[in-house]
Amino acid sequence: MSASAPAASDRVAEQAFAVSMTGLGRAFNAGGESRTVLHDLHLDIEPREILAILGTSGCGKSTLLRIVGGLDTPTSGTVRIDGTPVRSYDPRCAVGFQEPRLLPWRSIAQNVALGLPRNTATAVGRDTVANLLDLVGLTEFAGHRPREVSGGMAQRASLARALARNPGVLLLDEPFGALDALTRLKMQDLLLDVHAAAPATVLLVTHDVDEALQLADRVILLGREDGSTGASIRQTVVVPGDRPRDRGSAELAELRGQLLDGLGVDRHVQTGHTFRTDQESRV
């Protein structure tokens, strides 16, 4: 490597990156006591893979995403992206949240532009934002303020802002959880279109079993084993078939039942928003 070449962790991704976790653990101190959230987690994620992460509330799903993105530091173990350690606010990652978190005084285009890497040339940034707005179907609304668009449109803008970073790893923390059922299905389809057009490795936290099976190549279930001090991977499901998948598939229905069993939920319960609102407090 030449003296002027940036380190691997300094480069903004031009492609999807592999993610590996070895012996990952995270504990927090509260009230003078240590509480372990994640314990001895081992996981390898392939480039361009969509990995869905399921688990009961408080099991460490969001903590895991923050560690991968360099927003939190593990107590033990390592995380590597493209073979090199994750660092604070790792530029190879971008994060999408449940709420759009758009700045209300900026237009949709200006909010998307906030995701551009530092020192992006003006012309390049303008073209990138225009292309992303076209990708998520918001070109006609580029000049609108967030209050002037629907919740689904705002979430599309949030996704475009994350993609503006040109991430090798896209971290999505319940990105569709606040949307109505129909808009949520449309956003799932949009995510698949975006993933086909813009290569990235995706880690998706969700409470919706059906969403996980529709979008992911693999689904992992985080939870505590009996006697364990923290959550680890209790179950891994490889989802068969190419995307987009038939939501009424009998094969997916069987996998759905397995995952619901793992969550401690009656496999006949409806998922989606019903699972989130009616069942989350029980699991």
Average pLDDT of the segment spanning 26-34: 85
275, pLDDT greater than 50: no
DSSP state letter for 243:
S
| Segments of the chain assigned E as strands | 19-30, 33-45, 50-55, 76-81, 84-85, 93-96, 169-173, 201-205, 218-223, 232-238
User: What's the mean pLDDT when you consider all of the chain?
Assistant: 87
pLDDT band at 268 (very low <50, low <70, confident <90, very high): low
The DSSP letter of residue 277 is I
Give me the half-sphere count of Cα atoms (radius 13 Å) on the Cβ side of residue 271: 23
| Statement: the pTM of the whole predicted model exceeds 0.75 | yes
Q: Across residues 13-18, what is the average pLDDT?
A: 78
Distance (Å, whole) CA 259 – CA 173:
19
Interval 23-52 mean pLDDT: 92
11-15, 54-58, 139-143: which has the minimum mean pLDDT?
Answer: 11-15
Structure confidence at residue 228 (pLDDT): 65
Quote the tokens at residue 87: 């660092």
d(CA 218, CA 202): 11
How far from 129 is each of 15, 36, 94, 164, 275, CA to CA, in Å? 18, 41, 16, 7, 36
Supply the CATH classification number for the domain 11-92+167-282. 3.40.50.300
Q: Greater confidence, 271 or 99? A: 99
Query: Confidence class of residue 233 from pLDDT cuts 50, 70 and 90?
Result: very high
pLDDT tens digits for range 235-258: 999 999 888 888 888 999 999 999
